[in-house]
Every structure is written in structure tokens, then in C-alpha cells.
Structure 1
């Protein structure tokens, strides 16, 4: 019965005949702004079921006036900006959702800048009109201050619903401002002169010009809606259908061959070569890996062969290994909540759910095996909060590695690192909420329990003075024994100099073939450390003397003697610890520069300077890695989610006693 219902739904209104009948609209905005409730209201679902905070991207297809609108709902919390970027990639236009009782936050301003940089058409939706503290006038002022003067109200609430400001007879002082803005964007150069001369401009002409300006991303309408009583919902859908561009009007991402060579650009043509992208990956206990896919070119058919390409490193992104493989997709469906809506095929411009792609990861490209392609991936946020974990039990340890691989395949903003020095397993995440979601998915989706632990910062050891060391490795136990003696002198080198080995043996006290053995033993012991178990750096070791036996001396014996000599030298002088410093670049608004500089100084950081980048400032400093463990959280709190930073290793410096 379920399959019959699914096929009936698929045959009715979700199968778009072509790209011109599709609108892909992403909803972005702060957590709690009402995005998910708005989608539920547009679907005519009970709003109460959608009043929970979303932590992942969801796609809801919605038919309206013969057009299929794919509503891409994204999380509002800053930790899940990776899902937001994926939503922006899947869509061709954006609705910025702002609550009437809250206004615009800094993180939403940053997303507006990103959309502005690529010319994405946008509209501003004001929700929660029925809230006790709703103030649409204040929200309008805040939106214009945050997004620019081209944000103008196209509709106003009148207590009974919403009214278009372009409608003749509307008595609102903002009507004249909207009409003038529309006329300024009109292609009819005589329109302004006629309007100033007192001519009444036809409403249909104004509406047509408004829709063209919205599609060109030169004017951004603001529309008030109320999810609980339905005010403005129909007008919002009309705007999506009439003013937002179809997929064919949106420039697709750059396309390359898997080798990295440039490939011919693709167009949104169902008859063209297949080029699609995985924008979301989840794991279902019954279906296995499930991929949400945006088709940019060609037509996707069920049970067909596709080439799966993942090449993040080719575009300067860290994280997942490059991979290429051919797979056969399973069933195709539309991502409709509540039931599986099967699809006989999916045309260019549409969004689909693909099952049984066992190797596909979020961000991968699907194309024809005969003509494989790779799309330039969207900009991935750099996860900068480390969370060290360990398996809760032996059985969890056995399941942990494959579970982490599947988790990383779903979420490109999550990076898994096995630290080669400390042996710790570290998840690099966007913030505390991101960490909580990752650990929860490990336990409840993959059945692996883990426990967080303190992050260990790998230090270095260094000699502070010159010393001599004696290494004696002599054992006689019948047959061939072991015999090697060496004397060395050590002296510290300037930071960053590395290791030097000097041979000053005279008279053949140490046979020539065993001198490299002494050096190898010293290097091995330097890696193991001489006091706290951290590697030794910046050292010159001079081999002065030694003894050998004609029968019992060997390569391994002199390696052991060299290691013992270094440990003995360490007993003769003080060993200090060095801690790693990173160079950080913090990007914030001008009003936060002082607070950021003061905070970095409190973290034992040394300020290097500032520079202006557009309307914001970059603060650079050298800061100990130990002080940066929670910096991603602290900077977000300090900057209200709008600040960002990058970090690269700089050097080592003596750690405090």
C-alpha cells in the first residue's frame, strides 16, 4: 500500500517537466527565527510539529501554480554553517528569515555578504507577526541597516492579512519609495520622467519591473508573514514563483575533469551530460547511505551507472581523501517529508534523493562513467574546535573507525584526526553543539559509545646547555654477545635549526660502518624524548670516542649505545619544554578589534598587527596552541557569531615552568 501511494504521489505533482517549472529556494536566518515553522505552514502541516530547532538541511518540494518549489531549510545555529553552505549550493535564490521580535544577527549579515558576492537573488521574510513583542518597523530598519538600502517593503500587514504596496489606492508613505526604487531598476528609461511628471504608472508594469529587479538581485523585497494564521503565505509563494529565477537562469558551478583539467561548462539542460552534486548524506538503518542530490545538467535515471568523484584536495580543501569510483544508483525519490515519493527520472535543475550510493560523500560529483566530471566544491568552513574522544569499551573501539568514516562522509565540516604524536583521536568540529550532534549520532545512529577527554598539546624537549654523555651496551650470554660503547657531546642549537650529527672519532675507535648506527640510535631516542616523552629538537650531537669488539659489535648494539649516550647527557643538564605557537588571523568588525586584541594578549599571545579587509579588520598574533583549544567558542561569544579566525603553525617557544 505504501509503495502504491508513493507512486501515485510521484505521478501527480512533484515531477517537474523541465527546469523552467522549478524554483530552488533556500531559507536562511538565525536560530529561532521561524524557518522550519514557515516551511510547515507553507505545507499546511501543523506548526507545532515543526517548532523544534533544526540541526541539518532538509528539502521540501511544494507545488504552486504549476511550479515546483523546492524549499531548502537550513539550520540557524552558527555551528552548522556547513549545512547552510550546502543549502546555498543547492538553491538558486534565498529567503532571509527574520523574526519580528528579534531582528538580524551578525551571522546572518555574513551570509548576506556571501550571497551578495555571487549575485544570488534574495528576499527578506519577517515572521512571528503575532508575537507579543513583534515590531515590523524596527525589523525593517534593522534589515536595511544590515543588508542595505535596496531592502524595501513590498507588502505591509494590515491586521487582516498583507497588502501589496504597489496596489493602487494603498495609503502608506512607503509606497512612493518602493515605486521610485522599482522605476530606477526599470529598463524603460522614460518611466521615471513620466512618474515625476504625475502620470499614474500601471500597476502591472510596476509588478513586472519589480519581479525583474528581484531576479537580477538589484532589489530585495521584504514581506511579512505569519505561520499561525497564514497571513502572507500565498503572497510569499507567488513571489517565489514569479520573481525568483528558474535553475536555467542561475550560473552553475565550474566543472573540471577528475584530473583537474578544465572541462566544458554545463548548462541546465535535461538532454545534456549528467552532472549532479551530493549536497547532503545520511545513513538509514534499512536503506543504507542516502544522498540528497542537486542535478545541474542532464537527467538522472534510477538503476543507472554513475561515476562518483570526490576531489576536495584539488581545490585546496582539507578533510576527505580524493576518490573516484563507478557505482549503480538504486531508487530515485523526491525529498518529501512523511513518505517516499518515487521518481521515474529527475531532470536538470531538480533535487532528488538517491539510495544505494555506498561510496558517495557530501560534496561529491555524480556524472556519466563515459564522461566523468568534478564540480568545484562549495567553500567549506574550517572546523577549529578540537574534541578528543576515546571508545567507552573494547567493543566500541572495534566499531569506532568505520562509524567515524561514515560520519565524516556525511559532514564535510567535520574532520577526524589521529594525532601521530599523542595517539589521540580528535574530532575537529565547528562548536559545542556540532560536537554534541556528532557524538549523539555516533551513539544512536551507529551504536558506538565514546567519552570525551582532554586534548593533549604535543610539546618538544630541548637541551639548555652543553653536556657529555656515555653510552655503554655490553652483554655476554654465550655465543655472539653485544658490545658497543660511545661518548658524545651535545649542545643546543637556535630554535628551528633542527638536528646536526658531527663525527670526531679518531683512530678508528668506532669502526666507520657503525658511525651511522650511533646517529640512528640518537635520532630514535630524540623522537622518544629524554625526560617527558616529547621529541627533542634543535640539537647538535658530536661523536667523540667509543669502543668496539671484533665479534660482538653490531649495528643494533651501536644504535642502543647511541640512545643511552643521549639519555646520559640529558642527566647532566637541564631539559626545558617547548610549546607550539600558531599564527592566528581573526576577522571581526572594527568595533570588536580592541576586545579581540585584549583577549589575545590575555592568552599569552603576541600581537603582530592589523589590516583592513573591506569593512572589517584582521587581527594577527602568535598564540600558544594550548590557549586556542576553546577559542572557536570564545570568539563566537565575543563577536555574537560574526567573527571568524584561521590558524597555521608558526614555531615552538619555551613553555612556562
Structure 2
């Protein structure tokens, strides 16, 4: 394959869609700021929580600058040498996991940033798991090599052990901590030293004599790691031949795109070292859109998978992966997978069938934008004035495809919210509507019995941020109720039903009889209805009404009224009346039959169990484990990591309220934790009785 000859390659082959992901405080946003500076997109560098009051370009929300964290993934576009690069800077906090999921869904490659002091941390593992789910090839960048205690070789060992990556260094550092001034490129075997006020002067030269032996040794390790997964380089290696620079570059590229190898770069974004070489690595090793296979589902052919083409003359297929409320209305981020989108063309939303004209097409640069006339396959752009939901597919109307859906986790926590004054209720509704469209993990519903508005999300921080955004962006002060856990209900044994719904009050009556059974299903949360009637005891036209009645009944279980999951409903017999039977009669019969059999099926209450990873200095290990046990948690594992201990546990969500404050006080502010949904599991009998008594009162 050889070194890339840019002149002969198409614009599409030179495009890169990349994400920058990492644990909190590993330097993602700082790295993106440097990338924008070196590619000429910004004229000056600003810092996260900067003293100059400007803040990093990609943290455009006031709340992000204040807290020093990234909440929404920001998109930008830049050009490096001959390549167009779309970059999405993603949040590191697990409460905003949908932002990471959405970014990875539409990206072709990623940069995993690791701290040279902190190494592979709990959130690095979560982000790596998400990259694997979408099969995203990645480069690793060991940042903060200028920090005291920096040890990139320890980080490389952790990437191999903890993340199970086939990783090897493509660089070695020239000096560490306050002596860090550049790197040795192991592929081209040359040194690169960064100087000048912003590190823009690169001096390429011979490898320093004191590093020559280490460079030879690490280059051998690099060749061995790539040879294990690349046949061409493996053949050269077995014959004992030394690969040329071009052969090694090509082999690393093939292995990275195949997701069997991860090259590891080094540097310090804050001190402006190593970022330009990382950009070279993005172009050299990460795939172009044409090198990634994308699959759509053909809605006209029972959702049969269709491999999309890289030919721009083919019909348009694109995915709306993120929505934002901009100054000029809804802003819809779109990834073009096939064909080309042009300003003024007519596109069709395949989930609603609605046609619309593309009014304005822009490239995003965080919260700034540039108008463009068209975008070919592989590009990421944004549209204005388009009504749609996150995850909708747009085509040119000649095909009816849907892109495979993103994994959207169910919300696990709820709060009751209401505006403090009636005058704010209009803005309150507007804010909730917008947030639901933007974020599929944020749900809103009205509790019919209490009349309260309930918001649900992925955790305390997630919901707190939305309440705070309502106050800042919509000037709505909210009354916030106690957090509530989203329980589920299930059955543990089979139960029969035989129910006749009969009503006669002059004129046409109601008549519908249903007979059958319900039984629990293992390893699924679905509600499945099966028509087992042989013959026409119930007219086929009424079967749909029976199914509708049962599925509606399953939305409110008989214990406390939470949705029922993992249940199969089988209809075996029934009876209908020539005059009095109707769809309504059979729906009501099914509703009542479900309630009748549910109580005989030994129902149980299920609660969400969270996977909680806690990182604390080892001196606090005993205190933290004792606290998790008191919270009815189960310790799965604890591993020593230098002076720290990482404790992995499963804890009921109901026991996790206020944990962040308690962890801080237990560990003198040194502990941190990440929490994500694991599964719903049955509560014990005594807890069930207590919950039925307390939740029953709340529901009534």
C-alpha cells in the first residue's frame, strides 16, 4: 500500500470522522483546542476554566465552563494537510453516556486519551467498552507527559492488561515531566522536538544517542505486535527482513482499521507537544468513510440488512444523530452515509414519511457555523428548520431505509418537577419538549393520579443538569420532589385466565370471553402475545383488540402499578357474540383477565441494580467497602492501582442517593465513582412488602 500519495486520492478517501473520548479530566477538550489551533481554525489557545474568561472553544455552554466538564458533545470541522477532519468532543461523565453513544454511532475512528499519571481509569474502561460495541478503531494518546510522575510505559501496560488492547508505542518520549520536549517517531526513526510559543516549530533530526538503544528495542516490539495480526508484515517478520517505513505504515494502517491493533502516541496537549504528530496519525492510520462498512435496514423488505455504497451518485441515506435548539430554531446534526445532500433538495424522513426541503446546510464549529451547498457521503453537517427526532433516517425518497438504531438505555431515576409560578408554565413545557427531543434518555410523563410532571434520566447529575438548564436557558425555577426509582414487575409462575366480559343495558350490549394463560419468560424483558386458538372461537378481527388489551394491562402491574416485563400471554380459547361482541368488549375482557391471572402468578417487584466502580486511595478501602455493604451492595472485585484501589460493585439504585457527598466526606474528597445501569433484579420479600405499602400509598 505504501505511503499515502495525496494527489491521487479523492476528497472522500481523505476525510476522517473522529471522536475524542476519555476519563474525566484526561485533557480531551484541551487536546481539541490544540488541534483547532494547529489546523488554523482558531487564532489563539484558551484553557478549560481559563483565567482569561474565554474558556475552551468546544465547551460552549456556560454551565460547561463553570463546572469544567463537557456535558454535550460538540462538533467541529478542520483541515490538516490534505484531509478534512470532522471532530466530536464527547463528555466523560457516565450520566451523559448517550452523548458518547451518539458520537460513536456516526464516527469511523476515535482517539482514546489516557493520562500519563492516572493511566487507565474507570471511565476509560466504559468508553473503551462503548467503542467495542460499535467496532470503532482507535488511536491511544498518552497525554500530560509533562506532569510530575508521568509514566507512559505504565499506561501502555494498563492498556494491554485492563483494556485488552493489542497496543504498542509508535513513539518514545524525549524527556518526561519538566524535561519533556518532544518524541522519537519509531516508524520513520527520527526525533521531533517542539519549540516556539505554542509548539508550532517542529525540528526533525537524528535520534539522540542516549535513546538509540531504547528506540531500536521499542521498534522491534511495535513490529512484533503488528506482525501478529497482519499477514503481510508477519511474512516479512518470519523471514527476518526489516520492513521499510512504507511497509510498516501500511501494515499499522491495515491492522488499526481492522481493529486488531491500537497505535499509542505520546505528548502533552497543555504544553503543545505531540499534537501535530497525532493529527498525522489520524490521517495515516484511521479509516476513511469508504473503508468502513455501513448497514441500513430496508423497511420495504422486512428490515433486511442492506450494505450502503460509497458511490456519491447512489440514493441519499443519512442519519439525524443529535438535536440542539439553536438561535435560529432546531439544529439537526446529520451524518451522510450514502449519496449526497444538497441545499434546496427534497428529503424524506423514513420514520414519519414526511417530505421536506433542505433550507440551509451548515458545517459546525462548536457554536459557530459555516454555510455549505452540499455534503457528500461520509460527511457530517447540520440542518436548520427540520422537525425530527434524534435517530431518524433521511433519504431522497427513492429508497425506504432506516439506519440501525442506537442503544438507548432505559432511564433509572425519576424526579417530580413543577414550575414555582404559573406564569412560567409555558416555558416549562417548552423546555421539557426540547430536552426530550435532544436526549433520548431523558423522558417526561404526567402521573395521572397525582397530576405531577415526572422527569426520568440516567442519574442524579443528569437530572440536576436539566433542572439547572431550565433555570438558566428558560428562566424557570422548579420545585423538585424526592428522587424516585423506576421499579418493574414480573411473574414467577404460570397462571390461567378465563374471563367473560358481559354488559347489557338496553340496545347493543358488550360480550367478549378470553381463555388462556400467562407465564414468565427467561432472559428477556419483552411482553409477548401468542394466539393459540385453533378455529374461530374469537373472530380474527377481534384478536388484535385482545392483544392490545393485554399489552396495555402489562404497562401497569398489579402490585404497585409499574410496567410488567418478561411475560408471555397465550390465548387458547374464547367466545364471541354475533351482535354484542366488539373490539372494545374484547379489549376490556383482556384487561380484566390480565389482572385476574397476574395475582395468581406469584408476582414480584424488580429494582434497578447499578454497576458502581469506585476509585479511592487504598487507606480508605475498608471504610468504602463497609459503606457499600450497608447500602446492600455486592462487591465483585477490588484491584490495587498504584496508591489507589478500584472497587467494582453492584448496588441497588435506591441506595445510591446522596452517595457522591458521602464518598467525598469518607475519603477527604479524594474518592470518585462512576455508575451505570446493570439490570433489574427481584427485591427480597420483606423489602417487597415494605415497598408495596409505601409505594401503594404514593400511587393512591
Aligned residues of 2:94 and 2:676 also touching (Cα < 8 A): no
Deviation string, structure 1 residues 290-340 (Cα, Å, up to 9, x no partner): 011111111111122222244xxxxxxxxxxxx442222221111124642
Following superposition, the deviation at residue 103 of structure 1 comes to 1.6
Which runs of structure 1 show a deviation greater than 6 angstroms over 4 or more consecutive aligned residues? 456-459, 496-503, 588-592, 594-601, 617-621, 631-639, 648-651
Provide the residue aligned with 1:231 in structure 2: 273
Is contact 2:615-2:672 (8 Å) kept? Answer: no
Secondary structure at 1:61 match in 2: strand
The correspondence of residues 2-401 of structure 1 with structure 2, limited to 5 A, is: 18-44=11-37, 45-48=44-47, 49-50=55-56, 52-148=68-164, 150-158=166-174, 159-168=180-189, 170-172=212-214, 173-188=217-232, 189-195=234-240, 199-257=241-299, 261-262=303-304, 264-284=306-326, 286-310=327-351, 323-337=352-366, 339-357=368-386, 359-401=387-429
**Hey, what's the Cα distance between the residues in 2 that align with 1:297 and 1:636?**
49
Aligned residues: CA RMSD: 4.3
- Are 2:320 and 2:334, in contact at CA under 8 Å, matched by a contact in 1? yes
Change (3 A) 1:185 1:354: same
Classify the secondary structure of the residue corresponding to 2:434. Answer: helix
Matched position secondary structure for 1:71: strand
1:646 maps to: 679
Question: Alpha carbons of 1:245 and 1:183: their partners in 2 closer, same or farther (altered >3 Å)?
Answer: same
Q: Deviations over 1:18-42 (max 9, x none)?
A: 4212111111101111111111101
Q: Displacement, 1:457?
A: 8.1
Structure 1 gap ranges (5+): 1-15, 311-322, 460-493, 504-510, 517-533, 536-578, 611-616
Counterparts of 1:340-489 in structure 2 under 5 Å? 340-357=369-386, 359-455=387-483
Alpha-carbon distance change, 601 to 97 in structure 1, aligned in 2, over 3 angstroms: closer
**Residues 166 and 179 of structure 1 are in contact (CA less than 8 Å); yes or no, is this contact kept in structure 2?**
no
How far apart are 1:599 and its partner, in Å?
A: 7.8
1:581–1:653 contact (8 Å) kept in structure 2: no
* TM value normalised by structure 1: 0.68
Shift in Å, 1:499: 13
Give the drift of 1:636: 11
- Contact 2:23 / 2:122 at 8 angstroms: preserved in 1? no
Does the C-alpha gap of structure 1 residues 395 and 303 become closer, same or farther in structure 2, counting only changes over 3 Å? farther
- TM-score, normalised with respect to structure 2: 0.64
**Are the equivalent residues in 2 in contact too, given 1:152–1:221 (CA < 8 A)?**
yes
Residues 249-277 of structure 1, C-alpha deviations (whole Å, 9 max, x = no match)? 11214323289633643223321111111
Distance 1:297 1:39 in 2: 28
* Alpha carbons of structure 1 residues 633 and 497: separation in structure 2 relative to 1, 3 Å: farther
Give the C-alpha shift of residue 349 in structure 1: 0.3
Work out the number of aligned pairs and report it. Answer: 511
| Residue 281 of structure 1, CA deviation | 0.8
Structure 2 spans left out of the alignment, 5+ residues: 1-8, 38-43, 48-54, 57-64, 175-179, 190-206, 488-492, 510-559, 562-602, 617-621, 637-646, 665-670, 695-700
- Deviation by residue 1:92-115 (Cα, 9 ceiling, x = unmatched): 011101122222222321332332
**Aligned-partner SS, 1:171:** helix
Distance of aligned partners of 1:586 and 1:351 in 2 relative to their CA distance in 1, 3 Å threshold: same
Deviation at 1:383, TM superposition (A): 2.0
Tell me if structure 2 keeps the 8 A contact 1:431–1:633: no
In the TM superposition, residue 155 of structure 1 has moved relative to its aligned partner by 0.7
3-state SS, counterpart of residue 294 of structure 2: coil
Q: 1:524 corresponds to which residue?
A: none
Alpha-carbon displacement from aligned partner over 1:401-426 (angstroms, at most 9, x marks no partner): 23211110011121112223333211
Structure number with larger C-alpha Rg: 1
The offset of 1:427, in angstroms, is: 1.3
Provide the secondary structure at the position in 1 that maps to 2:250: helix
- Asked if the contact 1:333/1:340 (under 8 Å) is kept, the reply is yes
